[in-house]
Structure 1
Amino acid sequence: MSQTDFDVIVIGGGPGGYVAALRAAQLKLSVAVVEAQHLGGICLNWGCIPTKALLRASEINHLLHDLPAYGFKAEGVSFDFKKIIARSRAVSKQLASGVAHLLKKAKVPVFNGFGKLDGTSANGRRKVLVTKDGANPTTLTAQHVILATGARARVLPGLEPDGKFVWSYKEALVPEELPKRLVVIGSGAIGTEFASFYRNMGSDVTLVEVADRILPVEDEEISQLARKAFEKQGIRVLTGAKVGALQKTATEVTIPVTLNDKTDTLVADRVISAVGIVGNVENIGLEGTKIQVDRTHVVTDALCRTGEPGVYAIGDLAGAPWLAHKASHEAVMCIEAIAGRAVHPIDPTKIPGCTYCRPQIASVGYTEAKAKDAGYKVRVGKFPLLANGKALAMGEPDGLIKTVFDAATGELLGAHMIGAEVTEMIQGYVIARTAELTEAELAETIFPHPTISESMHEAVLAAYDGALHF
């Protein structure tokens, strides 16, 4: 007879849910995962991973068309778009299968179906109903339940994805052909990554943003540099723009855009709607509980506890920042708290953010403006990649490393980067934030030469008038 009573039940098998289950198993807690669609969640199947596979292909395409700059010559360069998409799907499938293997290895049972809270059992343990394909539900019980149901694309009136002309991120990942004209609405990480991919594959791309700048959560200076880089690549960027109701014909879409009280009309073959996400709070049994929902996200305390005893929420369901690594860290913290271990609440200013467009963008901590708004007197250091030998050697001179320090204590308040491979380098500043290092320790750190990461050192020195190579 299969087990139905556990210490912990996790509803959702994404980067928050499956990590929670694996850590629970390591700590000898009996745990089960309930997953309705696919292990690995949106991240592995329809988000982080497949987009990176596509972006890698687009980077290769860009390089193949920039060969003369490196002394090479090739004629008749072409690509098989269907194979590019197929490779992306294969990478996702491989990783999702890996998650299934890890759970099996850890002896974590996976119940396929929709999980829903259903009050408590006679002995006071939480009940979870698992339903699949209309069959009679399976009842599971546990002392603790972790909600990790994730989020989905926000749909705005007039921008509803139709699977043909208007795409959400899912349709944008598996197109049958490359659109010649593409409009991307929304310039957060999802929107800019798709704009970058399709432009580097050859589409005519327009990026539309209602805010006054693209990538509005990033430091303003980084946003400006990103816009400059995108426009240099041929992406048309419209900010402070409002989109009206779309009009479709048999072959194209007309998009009215109001900018500075003047309405212009864009015509495209396809439109990508990337206007944010909403939490999956429906049909998971929140009714009749003390769990609060704020703007489609479950309200939790610093240790991921909801208002209902024994019920927790992690990842995108629990609100911003909507990042897979935040979900995984919350998962470990939550399980360790359940196991009685001492844990530290997550400080959002120590969570890195990465956008994998070209050029890449990465950041952690306060922007210069937010640091000032918080009352800090700041010292700011900047170092352009144009002055970095490795960046020049790679043919990637466009970029900037920017640091923000507390002028009073020398604490690193924030770091903001745009350029080649900065998503791989930001962790250095994240460690500095986590360890509460000051400019003194960072200045004394020896960075290897020649590397792009040397620019991180120079940006620290620049904040204290000590930059050596600029």
Structure 2
Amino acid sequence: MTQAQYDLVVVGGGPGGYVAAIRAAQLGLKTALVEKAQLGGICLNWGCIPTKALLRSADVLRLVRDAGRFGVLTAAPQIDLAAMVERSRTVAAQLQGGVGYLMKKNKVTVLNGHARLAGRGKLSVTNADGVSTLAARHIILATGARARPLPGLTPDGDSVWSYREALVPKRVPQHLVVIGAGAIGIEFASFYHALGAKVSVIEMADRVLPVEDEEVSQYVGDVLRKQGMHLYTGSRILSSSKRRVGQTQEWTLQLDGKHKDSLTADVILTAAGIIGNVEELGLEGTAVKVERSHIVTDAYGATAEPGVYAIGDVAGAPWLAHKASHEAVICVEKIAGLAPHTLDITKIPACTYSHPQVASVGLTEAQARAGGRQVRVGKFPFAVNGKAIALGATAGFAKVVFDAASGELLGAHMVGEEVTEMIQGYTVARELETTEAELMATIFPHPTQSEAMHEAVLAAYERSLHM
């Protein structure tokens, strides 16, 4: 049965998909959204949001343990893992309900089921009620991505976890081995280490958080080691085997590379990248091109197949929710006949909610130099920032990279307490094409940690006032 003609049908209800549907509705397009699982997608249900809820529990735990330093006497805190998980799931459920409300508010038709291209301008939707057909002038694929599987280490909910299993643990591992030292791996490493697990991290690159500025990566690595984590950078798994010990599985991993070690662990968490969800979409027989599991698009999300678009994780890196949402707006506004600006990925901030946090936008110092730029670099440590000292949050620093000739802010990199909430200042500066002159003239409130951002700018021009 062919249903009413839509102007736009969005496949996938994550941060890219549901934002695309909302913006389309705002622009007067008759819109439907097809989601086979949960509105909000992986980010809201199994990624960004529930992860941050768990990490908040870890932050509270650390603060209570350290309460004596602030003159507050408490008993030794106890961990209620089930309550932590329940709170995390409740937060996700609340926001999922919020997305449903937004769909109703904007009069977006929501259909549950698996969508598949079924010829020019058509989609088939399969669910428990059978198969139906939707007709649309435009179709946006926002199907997201999933964890990259590793040979011999398929998540089983017991001794091998992906991010999904790590979000709903029934126990704290005795020894957790995290494979991959990107944002996801390091965030989970921080959470489980706070809960008392022995944590080891294996990373093929020569440093943790390898996409971040080298100074930041080095600093985070040093801090994590001081906290007691074991970091095996420049290493890979040569072989793996498991055996049952009592009620649990025990894994033995042989490492090669910089560290030729043997590790024994009861739980392995795989966090070594993602692959796009391009299967079973009916792409065969269309002009849509797929490279390395991601759909190829132009700057506005259009594929080589007329009327078919792709946004978000399925359309490639950077795999960030806020990137997907902005791509959604750009794509829909182009469909509606507006003239949106294309996305500049150097203006997309990245955040890692580890302990300490990491946030950045723009080029690293190495990237700027490799591009032939003459640069001016400024750094300022939180160790001499008044608010940070008062908070007992003196770890980390702010770093900025300017073009020496023009004063353009090329990049900004921060590590420390709540830097993920501060990076937006530099992100706005990048978007407005701010130079060092405007940033120097900006008045930052006192006392705040953000003053370190101002001082880093001054330091790049040898004008720092408090160091």
Shorter-chain TM band: over 0.9
Deviation at 1:261, TM superposition (A): 6.3
Residues 209 and 240 of structure 1 are in contact (CA less than 8 Å); yes or no, is this contact kept in structure 2? yes
Give the structure 2 partner of residue 417 of structure 1. Answer: 414
Residues 159 and 245 of structure 1 are in contact (CA less than 8 Å); yes or no, is this contact kept in structure 2? no
Give the structure 2 partner of residue 200 of structure 1. Answer: 194
Deviation at 1:345, TM superposition (A): 0.4
Aligned counterpart for 2:127 among listed residues 121, 126, 132: 132
Looking at structure 2, the residues matched to 392 and 232 of structure 1 have their Cα atoms a distance apart, in angstroms, of: 20
Give the structure 1 partner of residue 56 of structure 2. Answer: 56
Alignment of 1:251-400 (within 5 A): 251-260=248-257, 263-400=260-397
Give the structure 2 partner of residue 23 of structure 1. Answer: 23
Q: Does 1:72 align with 2:80?
A: no
Looking at structure 2, the residues matched to 260 and 213 of structure 1 have their Cα atoms a distance apart, in angstroms, of: 13
Deviation at 1:2, TM superposition (A): 9.7
**Counterpart residue type for residue 137 of structure 2:** Q
Looking at structure 2, the residues matched to 76 and 328 of structure 1 have their Cα atoms a distance apart, in angstroms, of: 43
Give the structure 1 partner of residue 138 of structure 2. Answer: 144
| Aligned pairs, number | 464
Looking at structure 2, the residues matched to 71 and 439 of structure 1 have their Cα atoms a distance apart, in angstroms, of: 41
Relative to the length of structure 1, the TM-score reads 0.97
Alignment of 1:89-100 (within 5 A): 89-100=89-100
CA-to-partner distance for each residue in 1:149-181, whole Å, 9 max, x for gaps?
000000011222122100000000001111121
Deviation at 1:236, TM superposition (A): 1.0
Specify every segment of 5 or more residues in structure 2 that has no aligned partner in the other structure, as ranges: none
CA 1:261–1:73: 2 relative to 1, 3 Å: closer
**Counterpart residue type for residue 342 of structure 2:** P
Deviation at 1:252, TM superposition (A): 3.4
Looking at structure 2, the residues matched to 437 and 261 of structure 1 have their Cα atoms a distance apart, in angstroms, of: 42
Aligned counterpart for 2:222 among listed residues 228, 241, 251: 228
Looking at structure 2, the residues matched to 242 and 4 of structure 1 have their Cα atoms a distance apart, in angstroms, of: 53
Residues 4 and 139 of structure 1 are in contact (CA less than 8 Å); yes or no, is this contact kept in structure 2? no
Relative to the length of structure 2, the TM-score reads 0.97
**Counterpart residue type for residue 339 of structure 2:** A
Looking at structure 2, the residues matched to 195 and 261 of structure 1 have their Cα atoms a distance apart, in angstroms, of: 21
Alignment of 1:242-257 (within 5 A): 242-250=236-244, 251-257=248-254
Looking at structure 2, the residues matched to 165 and 78 of structure 1 have their Cα atoms a distance apart, in angstroms, of: 24
2:117 aligned counterpart, secondary structure: strand
Among the aligned pairs, what percent are the same residue? Answer: 59
1:309 aligned counterpart, secondary structure: coil
CA 1:131–1:92: 2 relative to 1, 3 Å: same
Specify every segment of 5 or more residues in structure 1 that has no aligned partner in the other structure, as ranges: 121-125
Residues 386 and 448 of structure 2 are in contact (CA less than 8 Å); yes or no, is this contact kept in structure 1? yes
Give the structure 2 partner of residue 123 of structure 1. Answer: none
Deviation at 1:143, TM superposition (A): 0.5
Q: Does 1:116 align with 2:116?
A: yes
CA 1:277–1:451: 2 relative to 1, 3 Å: same
1:386 aligned counterpart, secondary structure: helix
CA 1:132–1:402: 2 relative to 1, 3 Å: same
Alignment of 1:145-164 (within 5 A): 145-164=139-158
